[in-house]
Each structure stands twice: as structure tokens, then as C-alpha cells.
Amino acid sequence: MATIRKALAWASVPFICMAALLLYLARPFNPDNNRLLGWAIARTGRFLLGMKRPLQGAENMPRDRPTVIIANHQQNDDLFVMGDLLPPRTVAVGKRSLVWLPFFGQVFWLGGNVILNRGRSQKAVAAMQATSAAIRRDHKSIWVFPEGTRSRGRGLGTFKKGAFHAAVAAGAPITMVCAGEYHGVSRGLSGRREPVPVRILPPVETEGLSTEDIPQLVESCRQQMIAAIAGMAPATGTA
């Protein structure tokens, strides 16, 4: 049953994206499309998986000003765990290969999200610089997985600095979204997925910081996220 649930959850993604493509074509590159799509995918996926997502600190997510959101990246299922947490006018940072996924790739591009080529660091830096300009000029928020790759629930990896450079350049706060460690374990004959708790930490202000402050900022945020993740255990709340 767990296998069927997972197959249905992931099969729903291209269908939702196909339906959302009409919205994206009607208002291309409108960043608020991403929030609506993320909400639909996450809520549908958790329903099909039978997964609960206890949420703490929802009030800490800025909604009246741009922010740089950093989150820990464990599994592909993070899309279902955190996809409905995007504040208004949020774009995400993703690797170029996402563009080639059927329907999802097309809406990802039309959502004005930041597409990075990991093999070309100069272009990646230029993309993050453009993102900091968009934060200031277009009042967009940005969602980044600073580890750059999935940890598969084996602790928080090292952080890449691109998101922190963008936040400091824009003077935007950094908001940390921490998901408890999970491994896709199912429970009972029904195959319901284990709960995954999430905690949103208070924003860290970057106004007045310079590039010289970034190493300390990176380490401070990482340590806060490590402590938050360690303090969470699977629970049976709702969200």
C-alpha cells in the first residue's frame, strides 16, 4: 500500500502542473503562480501519502516584505513536505535539469524561478546577483536549498554561500525552514507515511552586513538549523 501511495502522489505532480500551465500561460513569470502551485502539489501529495506535517513558527514567515528562505533538503518528497510554505511572490532556485521534466519543468521556467548550471560557476554567480536585484526591484522572495544536494536524512550538509550573498546584497532577512529528519517510512497496513514536523525560525536580519560578514552568517544560520532539527521528533499533529 505504501508503494501505491507514493506512486499516486508523484503521478499527481505532472497532472497538477499540466492544469496549472494554463494559469502560467495566462500570466507568465508572475511569481505568485509558484505559491499556488506549491500549495496544490504539497496538499495533494500529503493527502495521497497519508502524511501529516506538524508546523511550528508559521508566524515567523515574512509576508509583507521580501526574504531569502533557506531550507534543509533531504528527499524529493520535500516538495510535499514544504511546497505549501511559500510566501507571496516567491521564486525558487533549481538546477537546469529540472527544466526537462514534463510539465513541471515548463511551469518552473514560466514561474520566473532561478535556474542554475552547477557546472558553470560564473553563470551561477551571475544568476544569484540578478536574484538579489530582483529582491530589491521586484519585491520577490527567494527559496533556496543551500546544501545544494539531498542529504537523505543524514544530517545537515555544508552550505553554499550564494543565498547569503543575495540576502546581504539586497539587505533582505534570511528565514530558515527546518524539516525534521525523515526517511519515507510508512506505518501499518494502510501505508500511511510517518509525520514530518517542520519549524520556521525567526528571520535573521542582514541590513548593514557586508560580504566580510557572510562566513559568520552562514555558520550562525547553519548552527541554528542544526539545533532546530535536532529538537524535533516525528509527531502526530496536523497541517
With b meaning 16 or more CB within 10 Å and e meaning fewer, what string describes 180-212?
bbbebebeeeeebbbbbbbbbbebbebeebeee
Split at pLDDT 50, 70, 90, the class of 237 is: very low
Range picked from 94-103, 104-113, 133-142, 175-184 for highest mean pLDDT: 175-184
Q: Where exactly are the structural domains of the chain?
A: 2-182+189-230
CATH topology of domain 2-182+189-230: Glycerol-3-phosphate (1)-acyltransferase (3.40.1130)
Tell me the C-alpha distance between 96 and 202, whole Å. 31
The DSSP letter of residue 204 is B
Instruction: Name the pLDDT band for 98 (thresholds 50, 70, 90).
Output: confident
Candidates 73, 227, 218, 221; CA nearest to 160 is 218
Average pLDDT, the chain: 90
Burial of 23 (0-12, 13-18, 19+ CB in 10 A): middle
The yes-or-no verdict on residue 151 having pLDDT over 80 is: no
Predicted TM-score (pTM) of the model is: 0.90
- Whether the predicted pLDDT of 119 surpasses 60: no
Which CA distances in Å does 90 have to 36, 143, 236? Answer: 10, 7, 29
Identify the burial level of 51 via C-beta atoms within 10 angstroms of its C-beta, where 0-12 means exposed, 13-18 middle and 19 or more buried: buried
CA 1 to chain centre: 28
pLDDT (tens digit per residue) in 52-64 = 999 999 999 999 9
